[in-house]
């Protein structure tokens, strides 16, 4: 079963619908104890880093996810803010410790001189730097749908699987062991996004 974490930091309906559309056995996870019944997990998120981490900690999901993902090596997909929460720390809403799975900090995008706006909203091309099973069948410069104002600045370049040339640079995809995360929304990115979700359903770690 695929468990989609629902602790009040995201509207997860589109994620559930996309996985159901692909034939996945998916369930809304509303209590941390339910995490341990799942073979795979999805952590979506929207909003402030600080508020979201506070919610994860208050609900007990932070501890449950640490055990499931780090100790038990359950495969997990992070989406948008869900990806950012996997960093060591975030700067949005004040310096806040994250889940710590990707060493680095989540920092605000800095617009360049090319008319770029923050938040970054809309379709943009990614550049795949490293191969990964979840990107099988995805063109090296495919378009995906982004909605965000912050990005992961990873300390270890080995976790940066794909980037997006926007502002001072966006980490579009990060991955490490049983953890895979996208800054864009695969559930809103049409065929390419559905392909990533399909690959996640088939992923053998």
Any idea which residues carry the catalytic annotation?
80, 185, 187
Interatomic CA distance for residues 202 and 205, integer angstroms:
10
DSSP per residue, 25-92? -EEEE-SGGGGGG-SEEEE---S-HHHHHHHHHHHTHHHHHIIIIIIS---EEEETHHHHTTEEEE-T
SS3 5: strand
Interatomic CA distance for residues 94 and 117, integer angstroms:
22
Q: Which residue has the tokens 């992961």?
A: 152
| 161 C-beta neighbours (distance < 10 Å), count | 22
- CB burial of 27-59 (b: ≥16 within 10 Å; e: otherwise) equals bebeebebbeebebbbbbbbebbbbbbebbeeb
């Amino acid at each position: 079963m695929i468990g989609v974490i629902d602790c009040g930091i995201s509207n997860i309906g589109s994620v559930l619908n996309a996985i159901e559309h692909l034939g996945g056995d998916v369930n809304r996870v509303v209590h941390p104890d339910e995490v341990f019944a799942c073979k795979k997990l999805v952590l979506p998120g929207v909003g402030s880093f600080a508020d979201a981490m506070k919610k994860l900690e208050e609900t007990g999901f932070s501890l449950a996810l640490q055990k499931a993902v780090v100790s038990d090596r359950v495969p997990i997909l992070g989406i948008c803010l869900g990806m950012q929460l996997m960093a060591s720390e975030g700067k949005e809403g004040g310096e806040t410790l994250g889940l710590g799975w990707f060493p680095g900090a989540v920092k605000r995008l800095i617009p360049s001189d090319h008319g770029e706006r923050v938040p970054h909203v809309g379709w943009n091309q990614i550049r795949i730097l490293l191969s990964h099973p979840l990107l099988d069948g995805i063109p090296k410069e495919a378009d995906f749908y982004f909605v965000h104002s912050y990005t992961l600045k990873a300390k270890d370049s080995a976790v940066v699987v794909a980037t997006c040339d926007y502002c001072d640079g966006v980490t579009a995809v990060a991955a490490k062991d049983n953890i895979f995360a996208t800054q864009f929304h695969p559930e809103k990115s049409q065929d390419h996004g559905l392909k990533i979700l399909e690959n996640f359903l088939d992923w053998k770690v």
